[in-house]
Structure formats: C-alpha cells, structure tokens
A and B are shown apart, each in its own frame.
Chain A
Amino acid sequence: MKLSNTSRESLAAYGFLLPNFSGFLIFTSLPILASLALSFSVWDALSAPPKFVGLDNYIALFKDRYFWKYCWNTVYLMMSIPIGMAGSLLLAILLNQKLRGIVFFRTVYFLPTICSGVAIYMLWKLIYNPDFGVLNTMIAKLGECLGLVLKGPYWLTDELWAKPALIIMGVWQSVGGYNMILYLAALQGVPRDLYDAAEVDGANGWQKFWNVTWPQISPTTFFIAIMSIIGGFQAGFDPAYIMTGGGPNGATTTIIYYLYNNAFIWLHMGYAAAIAWVLFLIVFTLTIFQWRFFGGTVHYT
C-alpha cells in the first residue's frame, strides 16, 4: 500500500466532492466575485469591456427615487407575511385537534402552495378582472342580495388596489403551506404537562394560549418571520411579470423586478449588479440577526 490511510481518505473525499464543487465554483463562487466586480463598473453586455467606475453605481442607486419606491413596494407587499402567519397559526391550531379528516384538510390547504407558479398567477389575473373576474362578479351578486349596487375595485389596474390584490393572493397561497406545517410541528412539541399545570391553575383556553402555547412556539414564529422576510425581499418577480407587468405606474415593481429590467431589458449590467449587492446586504444583515438570536441552537423537532 503506497498511500497512507489518511491520504487515501482525503483523495476519496476530493473525488466525492469534485462533481459538486466544480459546478459550485463555476456557477456560484466565481459569479459571486464577478458580480461584485461588475457592481463597480458600467457595462451594457454588448460593446467593449466593462469600465470601472468605483462606487458610482451605488451612489446613483442611493439617489434613484425609483429604487426607493420599489423598495417601499417590496416592503409593503411583505404585509402578507404577518397576515399569512396569523392565518397559518390559526389553521395549525385547528388542525392540531385530534379530529377525523384532518389529513384531508391539510392536503387541501397545501394545494395553493404546491401549485404556485405561472398557472396560478394567470388564474388570479382573471379572478381580479374588474369586468368578468369571479371576485367582482361575486361582490356584485352579494350586492344584489342585499339590495345594493356594489362594484368591486379595478384590482390590478388601480394603483391603490394592485398591492392589496397581490397581498390577498399571497396570503391565499402561503397560509396553508410550509409555515402551517412548521407551526403544526411546533404545537405538537409543546410539553403536555405545561397545559396540565395551567389547567390546575384554572387557566382558560385563551390564557393557556398566551401563557403556554405562544411562548413555547416563539422560536418557530421568529424563524418563520425571518425566513419570510429574507424571501420577501427577493420576491415579487413572477406574479408581477405575469399579472401586472410591474404596473400600474410601477406600483407592483419590486426590487428583483427592477433588477431584471436593468439587467436584461435595459442592459445596465453594472447597475443591476449593484442592486443585487444591496439585496445581499439586506439578506445578510437579517441572517446574522437570526443567528445571533438563535445562538446557533436549534429549537425544532
């Protein structure tokens, strides 16, 4: 045997790593560095090599009122997070009762999450159609029943209503999905004797929730919140592209949509890279915040 055991093991390890690592290098590591370099330059992807401009892109971005507007849009659309989380928790509590048919309901609630994507955005575009979408039709019918003339808003083409429309859709999509399952797991992990103790003390259902359940599942709440916010900053491209084209008047353009337009429509590659790095800084800060909070420990299973 020529090689020692340790070097044989190392060699084997590099063999196992090779396929993934080479791809990782080409499609992740190096592009990250390239992207950073690009964010300090101006380039239209067609002509001459990128020109180094220092911090110009970042300064321009800081002064770009559209960028700030789209940041605000992104944050506004994240209103679906607290609403969705409250809904997820409520559903999880309902599903945590030992009743028959729970699996059926869990499946049904999960449907919008697994079916998300272009087909669903198209469906909701039609649902929100002011003239023949089912939502406004139902609103009008409801009005008829009550003897009123009710007319739903122009959802996606009204600057005021476009964001709420996307938020409603977002809540519908996510309420019964991943977060609900995480909450369900967390609820099942709350020790039974804590409830028993609370009952002995004469606590009612509401008090048991606020004094036992809520503190016990708070790590899950925190985890979901941070993960959703991280996702939220990067979200909004697919629905905006399919449903609104970022409009009306930029009301549904998010950071990622602006990045896409800069990079692949207007070919401002350097500027787009700078947007991507600002996005990274936001995500990075949130992740560090989360790690600090958790102290690297895990509160699940």
Chain B
Amino acid sequence: MVENNTHKPEQGAPAKKMDQAEIEIYRQAKTIERVITIQQLKRRQRLKDIVRKFGIYALLALGAVSMVGPFLWMVTTSLKEAGDVYSYQKEWWREWIPTTFVWQNYVKAWQVVPFARFYLNSIFVTLLITLGQVSTSALAAYAFARLRFPGRDRLFFGYLATMMVPGAVTMIPVFILLEKFGWIDTYKAMILPAVFTAYGTFMLRQFFLTLPRDLEDAAKIDGCSYFGIFWRIILPLSKPALATLTTFTFMGSWMSFMWPLIVMNTHGKFTLPIGLAYFQNLHTTDWTLLMAGSVMMILPILIVFTFNQRFFVEGIKLTGIKG
C-alpha cells in the first residue's frame, strides 16, 4: 500500500507536493514501525523458544533426577557405616552423602558370600546361553529365510505358534525332564533350556528376508556351498541384527532369576541374581553389604549398555516390528 502511494505523486498534480512529503514521512515511519515489529516478533519468538526449551529441559531434568536418585542412594548406602543406615540424620543431605566412606563394605561383601564365584558362574552361563542361542537361531533362521524344503511353512508356523505360549507352561515339564536326566543342580539345567528359542529364530529370519539376494546368487554360480553362503555372505551382512540378539540374550540371561532359582541348590553354582537373593536371606539386616552386592551386580550391565546402546535402540525398533 505504501509503495503504491509513492508512485502516485509522479502522475499527480504539483499541488500534491506537500502530500508527497507527508507520504514520505509516513512511509518511513511505517517502515520503521514495521522493522520494529518484525524485530520484536523475532525477539518474542526467541524468548518463547527459550522459555519452551527451558521448560523442556526442566521437565527432563526432573525426570532424570527421579530416575537416577534411587541408584545414587544405592551407592550411598553401600558406602555407609552399617549403623548409619538406621539412624535418623538431621540434615536431609546426609541421606545422600555418607558421613564416612566405608569402602571396606565392598571387600566385606566380597568375602561374606562367594561373590567371585557367582560372577564366574554368571559369566560362564550367560556366555554359553548367548553363544548357543545366537548360533542355533542364525542357522535355523537361514534355512527358514532362504532354503526351500518340504514342510517349511508349516514348521515355521509351529515356531511362531509356540511364541505365544507363556514360559510358565513349559517350566514344569522341563523341570521334570531335567530331574529324570539327573541334571538338576547342574549348569546344564540353567543353560540348555534357555538356548533354543523360537524368538531368536523368528527375529533373525525376519532380518535375513530383508537382505538382497544378488550376492548369494553370484556365490551360488561360483559354486559356493550353502554353509559358505551363510558364513561369508549372510552373517557379515547381518551384524546389526546379530548384535541386537546378542545384547538382548546377554541381558536376559544375566538377569534371569526364576529358572535358576528353580533348578539350582548348591550356592557354589549360583549365578549372581540367585546368589544375591541367597545373600539377602543370610544378612537381612546388613543393608550396606547388600547394596554393595547390588552395585556390583549392576556394574557389568551398565558397561555392556554403555557400549551397545545403539543396538538397544535399533533392536527395540526391530522387535517392535514383531506386531
């Protein structure tokens, strides 16, 4: 509108000269006003953005504090004097920072129960379960995804169907079976039933199906065996899926509690979760030692998680496809 007005005087009468000056002033004022408005708008927008960001960060921080708080208190408690756990502290922050740091608790926890043994058992059992599950699942998944054989679809449907069956259903017969074999209270009882899962097979099959076939066809023409194709082409291409399954299996067996509790009796063979529960029964009152033990149990998981975080996120998205 303003620009239109500035063109007018050129065509208009000389009498309108005053008007033109007026218009010029008006135009400038209007422009300045507009510049101010835009600046203000920008500033207002920026302010709004800052407030919004601040709000988001505040909410996130509040959430983060409530997530980390319990862990922090666990570490604090594990470093307290045994008596300090029970005494009422005057200052609230005394709950969160020990009066004296008793590192000795960790040594003591280590001595009171065979923690080193639990660790070794857990590592041994978890490694074997993970290795067994990932390798047998990958082999079976390759057959389901790439090879043609009679009864394939029916068999695969059978695998799928058992995924719906709760673990509780097979728990009792498997226990009885292991008892018949005389395997109760052996590492085999903890490891073998956890190795063969339909889930791992299913997940890897879904992933193998997404791989391009060209490379395999080329390898086949070159006279590569099926195992050669599996080993040299499929597996290297499937690293993300394999890493995901490995991570999930590792975490699952590291935390596994109910099954080891059912099949194990001798403390020397306990894994960390049942070892810790056994420790709790022995020392219900010494919470500093219990918390020291808990911290030690969580530590390896934290390390695994920190290095494999990517696989977690990808894996969750991958398994989300399961639906």
**Chain A interface residues toward B at CB < 8 A:** 6, 9-10, 12-14, 16-17, 19-24, 26-32, 34-35, 38, 45, 91, 94-95, 97, 99, 105-112, 114-120, 122-124, 126-127, 131-132, 134, 137-138, 141, 172, 176, 178, 181-182, 185, 219-220, 223, 227, 233-234, 237-238, 241-242, 256, 259-260, 263-264, 269, 272-273, 275-277, 279-280, 283-284, 287, 290, 294, 298-301
Contacts and interface: CB of A to CB of B under 8 A. Distances in A.
User: Residue among A20, A26, A132, A141 with the most chain B CB within 10 A?
Assistant: A20
B297 to A, nearest CB: 4
A16 to B, nearest CB: 4
Contacts of A119: 276, 293-295, 297-298
Nearest to A256: B168
Nearest to B230: A16
A100 B255 CA distance: 33
Contacts of A45: 176, 179
B147 A13 contact: yes
Contacts of B68: 108, 111
Given A10-B150, A137-B95, 17 more contacts: A17-B155, A23-B196, A38-B173, A45-B176, A107-B306, A111-B67, A114-B302, A118-B276, A122-B280, A123-B70, A123-B73, A123-B294, A172-B67, A233-B166, A273-B169, A275-B168, A276-B171
Interface stretch (B16-24, B26-34, B57-65): B57-65
Contacts of B209: none
Contact of A241 (B86, B227, B277): B277
B258 A238 contact: yes
A112 B67 contact: yes
A29 B201 CA distance: 15
A300 B320 contact: yes
A132 B262 CA distance: 32
B263 to A, nearest CB: 10
Contacts of A95: 60
Contacts, number: 265
Interface stretch (B7-15, B102-110, B236-244, B308-316): B308-316
Given A23-B136, A185-B317, A9 B70 contact: no
B164 A109 contact: no
B291 A126 contact: yes
A27 B192 contact: yes
Contact of B255 (A112, A116, A137, A256): A116
A31 B67 contact: no
Interface of B: 53, 56-57, 59-60, 63-64, 66-68, 70-71, 73-74, 77, 85-89, 92, 95, 135-137, 139-140, 142-144, 147-150, 152, 155, 158-159, 162, 164-177, 179, 192-193, 195-196, 198, 201, 225-227, 230, 251, 254-255, 257-258, 261-262, 272-274, 276-277, 280, 287, 290-291, 293-295, 297-298, 301-302, 305-306, 309, 312-313, 316-317, 320-321, 323
Give the dominant DSSP class at A's interface.
helix
Contact of A94 (B56, B175, B179): B56
20 contacts: A10-B148, A13-B148, A16-B142, A17-B143, A17-B155, A27-B174, A32-B162, A91-B63, A107-B306, A108-B64, A111-B302, A115-B71, A126-B290, A219-B323, A220-B320, A227-B323, A242-B280, A256-B168, A273-B172, A279-B168
User: Residue among A35, A269, A299 with the most chain B CB within 10 A?
Assistant: A35
A20 B170 contact: no
B92 A299 contact: no
Nearest to A103: B309
Contact of A97 (B56, B87, B144, B257): B56
A264 B265 CA distance: 13
Q: Which 4 A-B pairs have the closest CB atoms?
A: A23-B196, A119-B294, A31-B173, A20-B140
A225 B64 CA distance: 24
A181 B150 CA distance: 39
Nearest to B68: A108
A80 B297 CA distance: 26
